[in-house]
Structure 1
Amino acid sequence: MSNPRATVEINAPLETVWAVMMDVDAYGEWNSFCFRADCPSPPAAGDPIKLHVRWANGKTQSSPERISEVTPPYDDQGTTRATLAYVYEGLPAKLGLVKGRRLQQLSQSPGGPTVYDTVEEFSGPLVALAGPGRVEEGFTRHANDLKRRAESQA
């Protein structure tokens, strides 16, 4: 597994889920994986963002990233979609050892739940050291926390 991912169905309007995702200042209130995000608010493409994550073992780490895409909700032939993506900018990326791009995509068909899908597209010779398994565990917690937060606000 070199591309960790998580998917969850959320019983809330896509616009509500998007609002929760974009309110990075509130991550500490609901997100057990990414417990803090330092970013100009609201996030915009080109902005730096520093993610502070808590691994399953309780250890924390910060990850410098740059937002590469912010596509707010739009209609795609009847399906509503939105995307938030960022690229890892830490020293391993600068050295070409571990590159990563995280995509967080939302979609909602008429009358259906919002589907949250996230994936980290890893590349480079030291991807195994980045711990794809622990990243996937964190993404799963993040997805489930997002579901709870958005459903409580719907």
Structure 2
Amino acid sequence: MAFVIDVTVDIDAPAELVWQVITDFDRYGEWNPFVSECRSSLVPGEPIDMLVHLGSRPRRQREYIRSHTPGRELSYAMKPVPFGALHSLRSHTVTPLDDDRTRYESHFELDGWLHPLVVALLGKHLRRGFAGMTAGVEERAESLRAG
């Protein structure tokens, strides 16, 4: 069974503003405790390069864009490790709500026969990282809305 982290938050800001926060990679270092650097064209099949903070040492990570619906959804995945050893999926989904509010859904899954070892080593850091990034999206969007 895959290791899954789902975090959802309703944000007091319009969907366009939440989407802007998610895709303004140049500003990640200002608000994102999990991914402090990010670069991508957002074109499916092309890379997304990140500096990810897992534990004591940041690490460079390259994944690949799977899908991108501007203003709505972005997903990417690591290059699968041979023989089904490890594969991942990460997605961001933005849904407009009433009164200029937005539901932001953060999803991560890790699977493959090697995933229990990765989870044993990094599971708590992954949980903390995705929760921190989700809180950061919320705080940044609400702050930008306030002015």
TM bucket, shorter chain: 0.7 to 0.9
- The structural deviation recorded for 1:101 is 0.7
Q: Which amino acid aligns with 1:64?
A: R
Taking only aligned residues, the RMSD between alpha carbons, in angstroms, comes to: 1.7
Give the gaps of 5 or more residues in structure 1: 74-81
Note if contact 1:33-1:54 (Cα within 8 Å) is conserved in structure 2: yes
How far has the Cα of 1:25 moved from its partner? 1.6
Task: Give the corresponding residue for 1:14.
Answer: 15
Counting only pairs closer than 5 Å after superposition, residues 119-138 of structure 1 correspond to structure 2 as 119-131=107-119, 132-138=123-129
Query: Which residue identity is paired with 1:126?
Result: L
The equivalent residue for 1:77 is none
**Would you say how many aligned residue pairs link Structure 1 and Structure 2?**
140
Partner residue in 1 for 2:57: 59
How do 1:1-150 residues align onto structure 2 when only pairs under 5 Å count?
2-40=3-41, 43-55=42-54, 57-73=55-71, 82-89=72-79, 93-95=80-82, 96-111=84-99, 113-131=101-119, 132-150=123-141
String of CA shifts for 1:98-153, please: whole Å, max 9, x gaps: 10011111112222621111111222001122224321211100000111111111
Tell me the TM-score normalized by structure 2. 0.86
Query: Contact between 1:53 and 1:62, CA under 8 Å: does it hold in 2?
Result: yes
What TM-score comes out, normalization by structure 1 length? 0.83
Between structures 1 and 2, the one with greater helix share = 2
Deviation at 1:21, TM superposition (A): 0.8
